[in-house]
Amino acid sequence: TMARRNARNRQPTPSPPPSPSPSPPHRQAPNAAGAHLKIVLQFQSLTPPEFHGTEGPEAVAEWIRQLEQNFDLLQCSDGQKFYPQGYRMRMERAFWDLTQGTGTVEEYEREFTRMSAFAPHMVDTDLKKAHKFRDGLSHTLRMHVASQGNLSFDETVIRATQLESYQTPNVSAPSVQLVQPISSAPPDSSSGNRKFDSRRDNRKGKRGGNDRRGERPFARDQFLKCRNCGCYHLG
């Protein structure tokens, strides 16, 4: 009995169940507005270049290059380069309603290119981009460009610019005036009578050519009837 008791005492005691591992700490989502504001402030501290849309294509390329360089310094990903949804929708609607209005073709093309970035799905092909630009032109230019068929975007801009230059009056060109020829003859209020007299004089010249004024006309009784032929002869 003693041996059995000792054998039972030598049996290993069961280990307690493992305690549950602590749950990882809950990570709170960062404040999107605060993170965006932080990036904006950091971006402004780099004094980014400004572009007003009138500097030309070379200035555009340089402006984009400097902006990309600033984004690289900030380690700003493409996902952080965004516009708020409400602002993007407003600009998309404004691009949909964009027309030339009273501006020139060059001004319209500049605004069209700027605002098309907010609605890339409207201009994702060159043909759609050309048609969207053409539909916003003034009525006269739109009719002329549409008659040329399916032009590319660059061809549409060039053709509209050329047509606009033909329609714009050249204020520096001297105006043409019709000059009345100066007559050497003095003015005469009876010019109508003078014309009639000249026609009458022409008829006189055609009849005889000799001026017989002052000669006496022959009377019929001065002619004698010929006994041989029965005709009248002078004397």
Cα→Cα distances 28→7, 31, 80, 134, Å: 56, 9, 19, 51
* Residue 56, phi-psi category: left (phi > 0), alpha (psi -120 to 50), beta (remainder): left
Q: Which residue has the higher pLDDT, 144 or 209?
A: 144
Q: Residue 144: what pLDDT?
A: 92
Side chain identity at residue 155, one-letter code:
E
pTM, two decimal places: 0.44
Rounded mean pLDDT of 165-194? 54
Q: Residue 235: what pLDDT?
A: 55
Question: Does residue 156 carry a pLDDT above 70?
Answer: yes
Q: Pick the range with the lowest mean pLDDT from 62-76, 157-171, 213-227.
A: 213-227
Q: Residue 78: what pLDDT?
A: 63
CA dihedral 111, 114, 117, 118 (to 10 degrees): -60
Side chain identity at residue 75, one-letter code:
Q
The token pair that represents 70 in the structure block: 């600033």
Question: Does residue 188 carry a pLDDT above 60?
Answer: no
State the pLDDT confidence band at 152, using cuts at 50, 70 and 90.
very high
